[in-house]
């Protein structure tokens, strides 16, 4: 039993490290690739790896009626999310990017009310408002006041895109097991990214080795292995507790960026991070009636 707990902790740390690497890895990848090409190559690598896993695990074929749902999940989880992330990343520091992505549960709460017509308590509205204030602080203070880069809004679009994915996935996760859902989501998202295929091979051949290694790491670790490890964590840990561990991702992203990019966050990013993460933590800690509990699986 103790060894099982150790494995869960190690898997959780692995996930945090993988997703903490993403902002720095994207920044390095963009040194040799256009944003669309980077997203496509990253998920070609992830798709091939997941195909090998799927063949060994013999996952089931999707039902024909579920194909549109899987396509929508792939579009929001992979295509839109990573295109927005790649185009926005050059405008913000790696630490700020990681903090803004963690604002995803705030958008999940807004979707629950405005799209899915669920009742959201006054406590959650307060948390959302507090979190959005933190988001504004991060964007305004990342490069210093008066030097706001609009590309930070694309990182928020990426967070919103993920919130749409998690909201839909939560409501339809009963149809398939976790591995099957992840595989088809990644494959569907990769299909949408094929619009960026022209010119990709030339960039692969011309990109420096350092850049190609960074992209390979992005494809294998944050885009594939991390999802498998996260599925293992969720199998052995309550979703709420597991999700709270992801609040360590921004500090991990900042640490990795400081080593790989020599990049340190501004004081305002740190202040904004505290505000954003405290709001998200409050959203998950507060006990709500089942009908209001819209963020447990986010």
Number of folded domains in the chain?
A: 1
In 10 A of CB 282, how many CB atoms?
Answer: 15
Residue 257: CB partners within 8 Å, gap ≥ 6? 23, 24, 27, 93, 94, 95, 263
Residue with tokens 């074929």: 61
DSSP 8-state symbol, 102: T
Which pLDDT belongs to residue 81? 96
| Residue 258 within a domain | yes
Q: Which residues of 169-206 are buried (b: 16+ CB within 10 A; e: fewer)?
A: bbeeeeebebbbbbbbbbbbbbbbbeebeeebeebeee
Residue pLDDT, tens place only, 67-116: 999 999 999 999 999 999 999 999 899 889 999 998 888 888 888 878 77
DSSP percent split of the chain into helix, strand, coil, nearest 5? 80, 0, 20
**Residue 18 in domain:** yes
Residue range(s) defining the domain that contains residue 127 = 2-292
In a domain, 234, yes or no: yes
Rounded distance between C-alpha atoms, residue 245 and residue 227, angstroms: 15
Domain assignment present for residue 57? The answer is: yes
Q: Look up the pTM and report it.
A: 0.88
Closest CA to 54 of 288, 278, 240, 228: 228
In a domain, 50, yes or no: yes
Cβ–Cβ contacts within 10 Å for residue 88, how many? 23
> Does residue 297 sit within a domain?
no
pLDDT value at residue 215: 97
Residues of the chain with pLDDT under 50: 289-298
Domain contains 70: yes
Q: Quote the pLDDT of residue 186.
A: 94
Please indicate, yes or no, if residue 298 is contained in any of the structural domains. Answer: no
The whole-number pLDDT of residue 5 equals 79
Question: How high is the pLDDT of residue 239?
Answer: 61
Q: Report the alpha-carbon distance of residue 242 to residue 238 in Å, rounded.
A: 6
Give the pLDDT confidence of 268-282 residue by residue, as tens digits: 999 999 999 999 888
């Amino acid at each position: 039993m103790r060894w099982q707990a150790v494995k869960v902790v190690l898997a959780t740390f692995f996930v945090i490290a993988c997703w903490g690497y993403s902002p720095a890895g994207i920044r390095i990848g963009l040194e040799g690739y256009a944003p669309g090409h980077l997203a496509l190559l990253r998920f070609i690598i992830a798709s091939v790896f997941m195909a090998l896993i799927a063949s060994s695990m013999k996952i089931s074929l999707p039902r024909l009626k579920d194909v549109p749902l899987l396509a929508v999940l792939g579009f929001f989880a992979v295509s839109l999310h990573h295109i927005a992330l790649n185009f926005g990343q050059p405008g913000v520091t790696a630490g700020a990017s990681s903090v803004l992505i963690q604002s995803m549960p705030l958008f999940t709460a807004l979707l629950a009310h405005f799209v899915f017509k669920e009742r959201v308590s006054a406590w959650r509205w307060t948390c959302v408002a507090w979190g959005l204030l933190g988001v504004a602080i991060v964007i305004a203070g990342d490069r210093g006041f008066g030097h706001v880069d609009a590309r930070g809004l694309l990182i928020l679009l990426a967070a919103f895109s993920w919130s749409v994915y998690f909201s839909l996935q939560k409501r339809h996760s009963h149809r398939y097991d976790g591995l099957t859902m992840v595989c088809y989501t990644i494959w569907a998202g990769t299909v949408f990214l094929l619009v960026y295929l022209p010119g990709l091979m030339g960039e692969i051949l011309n990109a420096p080795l350092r850049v190609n290694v960074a992209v390979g790491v992005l494809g294998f670790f944050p885009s594939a292995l991390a999802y498998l490890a996260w599925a293992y964590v969720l199998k052995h840990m309550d979703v709420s507790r597991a999700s709270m561990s992801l609040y360590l991702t921004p500090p991990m992203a900042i640490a990795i960026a400081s080593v790989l990019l020599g990049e340190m966050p501004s004081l305002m990013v740190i202040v904004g991070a505290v505000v954003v993460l405290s709001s998200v933590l409050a959203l998950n800690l507060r006990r709500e009636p089942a009908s209001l509990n819209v963020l447990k699986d986010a």
